[in-house]
Amino acid sequence: MRVIAVLLVVVGGLAALGFARHEERVREQDQLAAIASDLAGRAVGVRCPSFVASLVDTRVEGGRVQFDETGRPARHTDLSPETCKVLRHLDRIDFTCIERGDCGFKEFSAGWAAHTLAHESFHLRGFQDEGVTECYALQNTAFVAERLGVPKQQAQDLQAWLYKRGYPNEPSEYQSPQCYAGGPLDLRPHESRFP
């Protein structure tokens, strides 16, 4: 009897833990979906893999959006376990190192996760071309970072830093010759700052 009682406590504990994790994931997805919806201009969803699914997830990309054969995007994006994990605690990353010029890979990959959410959001808005999508995303990374708790100035610095350090190293299909200050893809052509 005592064995069964102990077993029940253990099983109950695991179930409670699983439920808490599930609740946490739902909360995070809702928060990310609100940000993505603002950028997409319509109500869209963001999916983060469950703990078990994340163990078997071997994708290398940070996120994805499916398009159907007519070129219409799905109503949600699937983010990688790593992207979701970083975004969950983005407010704990100190981006003041950008100003000092001594940031490392940790800050870069954290910033890139915020950029990934912006990128997938513009796919959800209807842009399929990677070059166009990426240019719009690079101009909205600060928006995502700020919404996730990064102070305004640090978020702006992050956006400029990723454009300077990340963009030139991307595959050519992600680079658009129209992505420059005052260019056709400049979302704020009247501001001197770019992105």
Q: Where does this chain bind Zn ion (CB under 5 A)?
A: 130
- How many beta carbons lie within 10 A of that of residue 28, not counting itself? 17
Strands, E assignment, 88-183: none
Q: Could you identify the residue written with the tokens 């890139």?
A: 112
- CA–CA gap between residue 129 and residue 124 (Å, rounded): 12
Cβ closest to Zn ion, residue 79 vs residue 93? 79
Nearest residue relative to Zn ion (C-beta): 130
Cβ closest to Zn ion, residue 62 vs residue 157? 62
Reading the block at residue 93, the tokens are: 């990353």
Q: How far is the CB of 181 from Zn ion (least distance, A)?
A: 23
Q: Could you identify the residue written with the tokens 């719009």?
A: 136
Cβ closest to Zn ion, residue 77 vs residue 156? 77
Q: How far is the CB of 113 from Zn ion (least distance, A)?
A: 14
Q: How far is the CB of 34 from Zn ion (least distance, A)?
A: 21
**Count helices and strands in the chain by DSSP H and E runs:** 8, 3
Q: How far is the CB of 1 from Zn ion (least distance, A)?
A: 58
Cβ closest to Zn ion, residue 173 vs residue 191? 173
Q: Is 155 within 8 Å of 193 (Cβ atoms)?
A: no
